[in-house]
Structure 1
Amino acid sequence: MKRMKKIMALMLAAIMMMAMSVTAFAAEGATGAHTLTVNVKSTEPAQDLKGQTINLYKLFDVTESKSGETTNYAYTVNNTYKAALASVLKIDETSKDEDFAAAVTKLGSDNATAVQKFANDFTAEALTKNLSATANSGKIKEENKTSYTFNDLAAGYYLVYVTGGKDIQSSLVTVDAPTNTVNLKTEAPSITKTANKETAEIGQVVTYTVTGAIPDTTGYDSYVYKINDELTKGLDFVNDANGTACTDNKVAVKVAFTDGTDASTAPTTAALATNNSKKMSLDLSTWVRANQGNKGKAFTVTYYAKVNKDAEVTNNNKASLEYGNNPSDTTTTTPSEAKTNTYPLDIKKINKKTSGLLAGAKFSLYRSETDAKNGENAITVTGSNGNYVVDPVSTTTEFVSVEKDLGGYNLRVNGLEAKDYWLVETQAPEGFNKLTDPIKVTITKDGDTNWTVKKNNTAEDDKIIDVENSTGSLLPSTGGRGAIAFAVIAAILVFGVAVSFIRDKRKEA
């Protein structure tokens, strides 16, 4: 019996030691420094954490233990969020910790729809009730920031929420290892800008479209959402596709949902800066807050700009989004650019024999071969001294070469789009023969800042059209020296006949 009692005592001691070992392991898993690295959403469009704030809500404390190869987890509800969790999970707030954990488990496996809904619903509840986050990153100011690491976290089951997303898509992660990572699901507000033309002539109107989405402003007392746009010097804002000029420092815009949802309450004009008519600002703050029933939906903003006489090869049009829940501390996105190119036509008018530059040659330019042959609908220009620009309101259709070298050429017409044109010489320099056929000129876009030029389908590597003129010898004529020579010969013949006649008379005598 005594022997049996000793054996039982030894077994009990062993069991207690094992229990203590498990408890020690559990304690080790629940304490100590943990890190959590939060990565931006990895899919397109590319994301950036600049201007964002990452909030962590520790919903449960976590302890873990191992039984052989099996890891066991025990969760304790964080009292700070107990009421919000009970509301979202639809259980009694007085429920036990294991009941809260079981309610979350029943939602499904990783990334299940119900699990994501739980995360989003809790976030909305926390924002609405102004619940403080367990930890936050503060507003991230670094450029091109794609990850952020929290240090010295206690083990737990965390919800990760990034402020200012276009919709609430929170992430859930258990922090129990020394290092942990989570990939965000949400996207920061962003816009993209496109143009209906890649190249354009001076005088043409370009249609611009900016695409955005209604952001989720849950829990915010205020929210700023402004689209800011700035044109380069070669473009001017206009009110429509016909090029109607803007007045009263306003430009007309059209806002529409891409799925056809009614957007009639959106603003119809944007403000132009009083000191710079190239800058536009469209304030959609009130409209997006009034459209929270459509959060996440895409919408477009359409407006127009006209290419002017100051057009350059690359006419940039940059639009950026300014947003945030603090009007005095907003975030501005990296500008989205739409580039509309305008090109010059450089002509080198030369003497075919000497290759010297020729002044005084007159040309006209046409958009079709038929017009070129008929001399109709020539492109109108303004300018002088070898430099001209396309000008739709001008009546001048000719441009004239100069003797001076302007940079490898002696005649330029600026403001053309990438397409085929026909160049006609209307008057040759004095003493030279005029060209009889139109020259086909092809301008082709080659990237944002480069282009190619062809003359009659042959590439001009220097982008300059060489136009040669010839001068010839005098053509045959009647009269003049030919007649004099004939008269001299005739006189000699007459004189010879007379001499012969006199000799004959002397012989007879």
Structure 2
Amino acid sequence: MKRKWISKTAMTLGVLTMLGAAGAGTTVAFAAPPTQNISGNAVSDNTSKRSITIWKYEINSASELGERGDGESLDPAVAPDLQGKKVMQDVNFEIVRVIPAAGVDLTDPLQQTEAGGAYTIDPTFTRQTGKTAADGSLTFDVGTGKAADGIYLVREIKDGNGEYTYTDPVTGETDKKINKPMDPFFVWLPQTKRDDTSKLIYDVHVHPKNIVTDTDLDKTVQGGKGYSIKAGQDFQWEATTKLPDGLYSEITKDMTITNRHDKDGNPIADLNITASPAAPYDLFADYFTVTDDLNTNLLLKDIVIQVLDKDGTTWKDLTIGTDYKVSLNGTAVAAHPVTNMTAGAAKKVEVDLTQDGMKRVTNDEDTHIRVVYKTTVEEDFNGVITNKYDVDYLIPGQEPVKDTSDEPEYYNGGFDIKKTDKSGADLSGAEFHIALTEQDAEDNIFLASDGKTYRKTAGPGGTPAADTLPAGVDYLTSTSDASGNAQFDGLKLDWFTDSNGNGEQEPSIPSEATWDRADIKKDYWIVETKSPDGFELLKDPKKVTVTLDTHENNAPEITVVNEPKTKLPFTGGTGTMLIVIIAIGAITIGTAAIAIDKKRRAV
């Protein structure tokens, strides 16, 4: 599919879409413009070398297209304006010489094609290929003298791997993908000077500008590529996208945008724009949409939409209804919260930038947009949740773009306990607590429903008193049922090496990369805090290693066997005799007291 921006008075200018990360804050300067061979003789000579030089660089939007090229190298006085443009290295091109069909004036190879009979390839000219240098330039020398005269077709071509690619001269990143190659164009050699038709240019310079749409999607969970926390606690997913250029342009000159497409990629009519500096035209992208079909195990509490300021550090909230619109499962949501707290229910969130939003992020020079999904899971959830998102947008004159992010993961694990007597019979009524370390288990410090630990009872020898649990927080406990089964679910797992000890995964540190799933696990210690009737407590904590698979195992991870209570001797008769003696003594004392009282009264 072809695409071009074209003014009402000049030749085609290719516009492409490129994917991949762009170097920020640095540009590659153009080489000093060479002195061109421009002759005042209207008749072509037989001594000058004929050449075409391409200068390949990027622009941010249609408003930067400038005037049409005239085939001349840039004037040194104007060249500094190009310092802010980022050039494209190692872009592959070819040129062939063509022979127009009778009566055909070749001006636009998009409209006048070889297949349509507008021209044939000149077999006397050997096809030339090349790639742009670090300054974005590429020169084709086609020969010397009149034998080199003619009309040439310049085309961007694929690399040796069959793809359109380029090298970022700032970062050095190679084989970056070009989604849409530059549109081809015709060049006469020698070319008549545009502003003085009595002169000829033997070394023509062309400046194809390319609008870059580098979306660079990045999905994270709590800022990293993996995450685990006690199930039931809040956490968030971040869908961060580099904003593509061309979402909004202020057009100040007449222009025709050709090769337009609808969202399905079907060609639609050209857009003729009438504009001037006094009456500019606002050109917007057809749409920019972030779609996240959240895992149904997630419980959605709300979302937040933010953009990253050009300072590279400040995230700013956008306004729902003004800067963006939201739908949940196809239903528009006009205000926050955007919520669905039903496990198993669909939660497809779609965020669309409005035209006001496109204009705002462009004028503010914001660089990225992110959607923050505030979520949780049910307290007994075990397993892995992965999630990705899509970005779709359509810049006028380009093909529709759809990108998909990677899939970070959220983890929880659980394990089963079997409670029996020494014969293997099931025991019910045994209560267990869980600790993060063996020392915590010995010190009565246990895990609670908020994912934190608290001291349950004061210990001997001046051990600190029990902690007061926050309101709504309970210790995690499990009691064996009639079948002797108990379990703990939704436990946090270790999934990365915390190199700097800050408790947070930092993807920028190689050693903190997410572990392979087989290595994700965590040790816990169980403590029996209440034994079944007729049995002794376990007395020592037991370690259990929890993995992503333990909750799915058919066999329990640990079997706890209780010893029966011993039968102590009967207390015997001594205790009864003592009670009788005490009773007789009480009666004797009472009788004496009555006798003494009677004698006193008689006197």
Q: Give the TM-score of the pair, scaled to structure 2.
A: 0.42
Say which structure is richer in helix: 1
Bigger Rg, structure 1 or 2: 1
For CA contacts below 8 A with separation 6 or more, give which structure has more relative contact order. Answer: 2
Q: Give the TM-score of the pair, scaled to structure 1.
A: 0.49
